[in-house]
Each structure stands twice: as C-alpha cells, then as structure tokens.
C-alpha cells in the first residue's frame, strides 16, 4: 500500500456510506494524530488504539455529517503553505488538516498560531 492515510479516509467514508457504527484501520502515529483532529472537530465520535495488535477502532456513529475527505498532499506531490494561505473549504463550513512543526492541527488552529505546514486533507 502506497498511501496509508488515503486508505484511512476511504475506510471512514465507506463505513459512513454503509451505515456502520465502527471501522478499523492499521495503526500509525500519524493516523492517530489525524483522528485526534477529526475528533476535536466532531467528524468522528472517538477512536481507540490497540498498539499491541497495531489497529485503530474508529467510532463514527452519531458524528457530525460530512460527505467527503479529500486528500490534498499526496506522496507524489506534497503541498506546503504559509499560515496566511491556509484554505477555508466550503466557505468555512469545512476543515483543513495541516501537519505543522507543532504537530497535526486543524487549519483554524494553525492560522491562529501563525504556523504553516503541509496540507494533509480537506473535510466537508
């Protein structure tokens, strides 16, 4: 598998479309950081990490309604922006997830902290 983060997004979207309450994905610290931001923005209800089995169980039941998670920065093409150029998807109704030197943050947190970085995805 080349892009494990895109695989995580596909698993979440497919589980929502199928009406499932939970989904599982292989564990990585980057995925955990992304899920932390998704939980903070209420796109997922929660997640549990089983580091021994190397799996993450994601609870998506009764979460905030969203239709797409679009991967922006890919392994073949990375996209870096300054804090003032962080996009606001869907006129502020969506969220951007940014990987910064201070960790993985939402676009709004990165803009407030005046920190730029790599745009991972847009959620709306």
Give the rounded percent of residues in the chain with a pLDDT score beyond 90: 90
Q: How confident is the model at residue 30 (pLDDT cuts 50, 70, 90)?
A: very high
Q: Which residue has the tokens 């960790």?
A: 103
Where would I find the H helices in 3-106?
A: 4-18, 29-40
Query: Hey, where are the domains in the chain?
Result: 4-59, 69-123
Considering the four listed CATH numbers 3.40.50.1820, 3.30.1490.10, 3.60.10.10, 3.40.50.150, the one that applies to the domain covering 69-123 is 3.30.1490.10
Q: Which residue has the tokens 């564990």?
A: 27
**Which H helix or E strand runs over 112?**
helix 107-113
pLDDT at 96 over 90: yes
Residue 67 CB coordination number (10 Å): 10
Please provide the average confidence, as pLDDT, over all residues in the chain. 95
Q: Which residue has the tokens 């169980």?
A: 57
- Chain centre to alpha carbon of residue 66: 12
SS3 65: coil
pLDDT at 56 over 90: yes
* CATH code of the domain occupying 4-59: 3.30.1370.30
Task: Specify the DSSP class assigned to residue 63.
Answer: P
Mean pLDDT of 48-62: 94
Q: How confident is the model at residue 41 (pLDDT cuts 50, 70, 90)?
A: very high
């Amino acid at each position: 598998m080349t892009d494990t983060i895109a695989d995580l997004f596909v698993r979440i979207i497919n589980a929502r479309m199928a009406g499932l309450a939970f989904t599982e994905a292989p564990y990585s610290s980057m995925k955990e950081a992304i899920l932390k931001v998704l939980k903070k923005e209420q796109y997922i209800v929660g997640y549990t990490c089983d580091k021994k089995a190397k799996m993450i169980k994601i609870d998506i039941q009764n979460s905030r309604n969203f239709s797409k998670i679009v991967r922006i920065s890919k392994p073949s093409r990375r996209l870096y922006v300054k804090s003032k150029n962080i996009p606001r998807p869907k006129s502020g109704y969506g969220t951007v997830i940014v990987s910064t030197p201070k960790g993985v943050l939402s676009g709004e947190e990165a803009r407030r902290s005046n920190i730029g970085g790599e745009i991972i995805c847009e959620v709306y």
